[in-house]
């Protein structure tokens, strides 16, 4: 799992100088008239803003969709956006208003991006970045997705990745897939985004989403998290469900 941090960084290349004004042009922007800044906000910050009526899930999703529209053509961290995202946000807002305080999960109304090897039984594709699986229909949600939906999280879309998590070919460039193109490190465009879960890390780093899920066999969570200056959590193998996640190794795969 990747989550926001507040990295200090230097200008390493002229390419960064081109992208930096784009990335920072929305810095400290607010989603509402209450002065709450979504950029770099943690899940706890967002939940507090919900509680204090400074923010709604719809406003949060609208902000991230605008960020994706603005930055993803360059960064290519998101492979597909959920067409039902705003509907799910409205549903989350309605549920928050109708239930007793303290009865909701800490993930209620929080948009989450999933690596494109994690199955969702909805309008999103699950392709591992490959055109070979485009349009295929999965029988049901992945185990982790079932839990996220139960907690009230909003599946906002699928993150890009190294195609087939680089399982079919080690010659695949880190962060490249035929569906998503070449993912880019948002701080240094020419830098290696690292690992097959690169899109999950890229998207959090660039404030395209606050939280994302990836998968790791041997470094694809921790490496892109480090390279893209975000926090990555790799659970011990077996602690998270791997059901209906495109696999590599049953002895090593973990979702985080």
**Ramachandran region of residue 40, left (φ > 0), alpha (ψ -120 to 50) or beta?**
left
Q: Which two tokens stand for residue 197?
A: 């879960």
Distance CA 124, CA 83 (A): 8
pLDDT at 2: 61
Cα angle vertex 100, ends 97, 106, to 5°?
Answer: 80
Q: Which two tokens stand for residue 243?
A: 């059901």
Residues 6+ apart with CB under 8 A from 171: none
Distance CA 37, CA 10 (A): 23
Q: How many domains does the chain have?
A: 1
Domain holding 51, by residue range, is 12-21+38-255
Distance CA 165, CA 118 (A): 12
Confirm whether 134 is domain-assigned: yes
Sign of CA dihedral 50, 52, 56, 59: negative
Confirm whether 2 is domain-assigned: no
Confirm whether 93 is domain-assigned: yes
pLDDT at 247: 81
pLDDT at 101: 67
Per-residue pLDDT of the chain (256 residues), as tens digits, is: 665 544 433 333 333 334 444 444 444 445 555 678 999 999 999 999 999 999 999 999 999 999 999 999 999 999 999 999 999 999 999 999 887 667 899 999 999 999 999 999 999 999 999 999 999 999 999 999 999 999 999 999 999 998 988 777 665 789 899 999 999 999 999 999 988 899 999 999 999 999 999 888 878 888 888 889 888 888 888 888 889 998 888 888 888 8
Confirm whether 27 is domain-assigned: no
To 10 degrees, what angle do helices 14-24 and 57-75 make? 160
Confirm whether 4 is domain-assigned: no
Distance CA 62, CA 71 (A): 14
pLDDT at 167: 77
Confirm whether 31 is domain-assigned: no
pLDDT at 32: 56
Confirm whether 83 is domain-assigned: yes
pTM: 0.84
132 DSSP 8-state letter: G
CATH number of 116's domain: 3.90.1300.10
Confirm whether 5 is domain-assigned: no
pLDDT at 103: 81
Residue 169 CA: distances (Å) to CA of 102, 162, 164, 195: 48, 10, 8, 13
pLDDT at 9: 36
How would you class 7 by CB atoms within 10 Å of its CB: exposed for 0-12, middle for 13-18, buried for 19 or more?
A: exposed
Distance CA 202, CA 81 (A): 15
Q: Which two tokens stand for residue 219?
A: 């470094």
How would you class 223 by CB atoms within 10 Å of its CB: exposed for 0-12, middle for 13-18, buried for 19 or more?
A: buried
pLDDT at 5: 47
Structure-token match 């993930």, residue found: 107
């Amino acid at each position: 799992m990747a989550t926001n941090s507040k990295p200090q960084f230097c200008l390493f290349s002229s390419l960064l100088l081109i992208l930096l004004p784009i990335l920072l042009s929305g810095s400290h922007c607010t989603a509402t008239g209450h002065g709450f800044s979504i950029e770099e906000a943690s899940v706890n910050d967002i939940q507090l803003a919900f509680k204090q009526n400074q923010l709604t899930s719809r406003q949060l999703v609208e902000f991230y969709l605008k960020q994706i529209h603005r930055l993803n053509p360059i960064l290519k961290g998101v492979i597909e956006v959920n067409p039902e995202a705003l509907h799910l946000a409205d549903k989350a807002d309605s549920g928050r208003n109708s239930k007793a305080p303290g009865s909701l999960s800490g993930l209620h109304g929080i948009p989450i991006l999933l690596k494109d090897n994690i199955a969702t039984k909805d309008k999103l594709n699950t392709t591992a970045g490959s055109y070979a699986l485009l349009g295929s229909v999965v029988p049901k949600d992945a185990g982790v997705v079932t839990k996220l939906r139960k907690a009230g999280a909003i599946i906002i879309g699928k993150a890009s990745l190294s195609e087939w998590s680089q399982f079919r070919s080690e010659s695949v460039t880190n962060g490249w897939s035929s569906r998503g193109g070449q993912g880019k490190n948002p701080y240094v465009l020419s830098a290696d985004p690292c690992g097959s879960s690169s899109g999950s890390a890229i998207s959090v780093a660039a404030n395209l989403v606050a939280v994302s899920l990836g998968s790791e066999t041997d470094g694809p969570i921790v490496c892109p998290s480090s390279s893209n200056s975000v926090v990555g959590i790799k659970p011990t193998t077996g602690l998270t469900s791997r059901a209906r996640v495109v696999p590599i190794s049953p002895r090593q795969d973990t979702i985080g």
